[in-house]
């Protein structure tokens, strides 16, 4: 199978600055100077020397403890972050659902946010209008689609975000733990939609703590530990090693 995602020697660092707010005119003037002179020990490495390949049509889970670099890896795949070193290559139309309601404007209606997000994800206005009714029906928001999204519950946010993401017809779908939110019936509908994606030969990369789902549903699992790949392989073996290390 052809590769659709490839990491070659990828590392990502973030520079830490003091969280203290300036309280005097002098501190405002010198703040940026001192930030530019931040010491090297104020750099945090979220990802270190990562190499892996995702093939077309595969479903890949990224697992690991909190702070291990899982979400950073998804953001690197999506292009929201750029690597500090190394190369990230992605081939194919991509849709990402990584932060609940990310990109939604709270004062715009659900209808308006569908239009805005559709354009951001690469659809034309004609394509969005053609798929609009399907998106709203999938999200089960027919009665609320013309209300400002600031009035939506967390579950409504999730439903609308997921519905938009899966109806842009992506070749690659990125998901970061959002399916942990929402009622059981809608979560089941999301799983059915992703199963359809699998049958259609689309690629899915997800961050999840649902190890049972990883074992039963995924083709490959990547275990991240402190920003490095600890193990990458068959899901059941990867989960077993992860559980042993975690003491489960």
pLDDT score, position 130: 94
Domain assignment of residue 102, yes or no: yes
Q: Which pTM was predicted?
A: 0.81
For the segment 16-58, what is each residue's pLDDT rounded down to a tens digit? 765 556 556 555 555 555 555 555 458 899 999 999 999 999 9
Q: Is residue 148 part of a domain?
A: yes
pLDDT at res. 17: 61
CA angle 138/220/13 to nearest 5° reads 90
Q: Is residue 139 part of a domain?
A: yes
Q: What angle, rounded to 10 degrees, do the helices at 110-120 and 125-139 form?
A: 130
Number of domains the chain is built from: 1
Each residue's pLDDT tens digit, 42-101: 889 999 999 999 999 999 999 999 999 999 999 999 998 999 999 999 998 888 877 655
Q: Is residue 127 part of a domain?
A: yes
Residue 160's domain comprises 58-80+93-246
Using CA atoms, how far apart are residues 41 and 244, in angstroms rounded to an integer? 32
CATH number at residue 67: 3.40.50.300
Nearest to 220 by CA among 51, 61, 4: 61
Find out whether 185 and 138 touch, Cβ atoms under 8 Å: no
Q: Could you tell me how far CA 23 lies from the centroid of its own chain?
A: 37
What three-state secondary structure class fits 164?
A: helix
Average pLDDT over residues 204-230: 94
DSSP 127: H
């Amino acid at each position: 199978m052809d590769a659709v995602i490839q990491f070659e020697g990828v590392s990502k660092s973030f520079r830490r600055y003091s969280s203290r707010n300036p309280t005097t005119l002098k501190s405002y003037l010198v703040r940026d100077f001192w930030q530019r002179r931040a010491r090297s020990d104020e750099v945090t490495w979220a990802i270190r020397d990562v190499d892996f390949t995702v093939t077309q049509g595969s479903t890949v889970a990224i697992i690991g403890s909190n702070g291990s670099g899982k979400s950073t890896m998804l953001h690197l795949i999506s292009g929201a972050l750029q690597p500090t070193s190394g190369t990230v290559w992605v081939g194919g139309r991509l849709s990402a659902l990584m932060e609940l309601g990310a990109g939604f404007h709270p004062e715009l209606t659900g209808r308006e946010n569908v239009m805005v997000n559709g354009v951001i994800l690469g659809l034309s206005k004609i394509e969005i209008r053609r798929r609009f009714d399907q998106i709203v029906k999938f999200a089960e928001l027919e009665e609320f689609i013309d209300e400002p999204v600031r009035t939506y519950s967390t579950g409504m946010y999730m439903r609308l975000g997921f519905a938009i993401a899966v109806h842009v017809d992506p070749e690659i779908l990125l998901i970061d733990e959002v399916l942990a939110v929402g009622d059981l019936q809608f979560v089941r509908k999301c799983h059915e939609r992703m199963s359809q994606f699998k049958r259609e030969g689309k690629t899915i990369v997800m961050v999840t703590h649902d190890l049972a789902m990883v074992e039963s549903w995924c083709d490959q699992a990547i275990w991240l530990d402190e920003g490095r790949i600890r193990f990458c392989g068959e899901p059941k073996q990867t989960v077993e090693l992860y559980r042993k290390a975690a003491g489960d």
